[in-house]
Amino acid sequence: MSANDTAHGSGAASAWVQRWSHLLPPEARVLDVACGAGRHLAWFAQRGHAVTGIDLDTTQVAQRVPTATLVTADVENAPWPLLQDGTPQAFGAVVVTNYLWRPLFPTLLDSVAPGGVLLYETFAAGNETVGRPSRPDFLLRPGELLDVCAAWHVVAFEQGYLDNPARFVQRIAALRIFTHPDTGAVSARHAL
């Protein structure tokens, strides 16, 4: 989140997402959960990725990223809307920023295709000392994203205080490990 972000999902793409977006295979499909105004959808669409955004309100995104597939849904109080044959659709990348709903963690992980990447950045414990959000339900516990991605290849992880604006965050870039069905070879990268 940068200082010029006034509405959720407005402004430039997160520096964390920009930094690790090279991990995506070329032309990978990208899912942005709680996409807000679509800053990450715009970032990935400009790089040739097919993008899907999900949020309670997607009207701002439709104008900003007209090529995006948009799903208007309440993922906290309704079933996951992106299912294919009863399982979550697979994407080359799942991006989540400034959003935390712990019951969604398994679905988010299942939505990353083998060899794909999870880019996650949100508020963490300590943020209650500098602003909102301040409720523990909306703040990651120390090392929580590492625990969530324990079976994955963690490329980068950070937690702590950031300035301008003042906030405590936790963020991770993690690749879903792929086991080749024929050879059993294990890789963190697979063509999607």
Q: What is the pLDDT of residue 1?
A: 36
Cis amide leading into 133 (omega within 30): yes
Per-residue pLDDT at 2 exceeds 50: no
What average pLDDT does the structure give for the chain? 90
Structural domains present in the chain: 26-175 (3.40.50.150)
User: Rounded distance, CA 37 to CA 62, Å?
Assistant: 9
CB 133 within 8 A of CB 139: yes
Per-residue pLDDT at 133 exceeds 70: yes
Lowest mean pLDDT among 47-56, 129-138, 180-189: 180-189
Q: Residue 116 is inside which H or E element, if any? A: strand 112-123
How would residue 10 be classed by pLDDT, with cut points 50, 70 and 90? low
Per-residue pLDDT at 5 exceeds 70: no
Q: What is the pLDDT of residue 27?
A: 86
Phi, psi angles (nearest 5°) of residue 7 = -115, 150
Q: How far is CA 56 from CA 35, 64, 87, in A?
A: 9, 16, 21
Per-residue pLDDT at 143 exceeds 60: yes
CB 38 within 8 A of CB 32: yes
User: Rounded distance, CA 151 to CA 127, Å?
Assistant: 28
Through-space distance between the first and last CA atoms of the chain, rounded to whole angstroms:
29
User: Three-class SS of residue 66?
Assistant: coil
Chain centroid to CA 155: how far? 15
Q: What is the pLDDT of residue 9?
A: 58
CB 56 within 8 A of CB 77: no
Instruction: Give mean pLDDT, residues 14-27.
Output: 93
Per-residue pLDDT at 73 exceeds 90: yes
Instruction: Give pTM, 2 decimals.
Output: 0.89
Per-residue pLDDT at 84 exceeds 70: yes
What percent of the chain has pLDDT above 70? Answer: 88
Q: What is the pLDDT of residue 120?
A: 98
How would residue 125 be classed by pLDDT, with cut points 50, 70 and 90? very high
Q: Residue 95 is inside which H or E element, if any? A: strand 91-97
How would residue 187 be classed by pLDDT, with cut points 50, 70 and 90? low
User: Rounded distance, CA 128 to CA 139, Å?
Assistant: 9
**Residue of 95 and 189 predicted with greater confidence:** 95
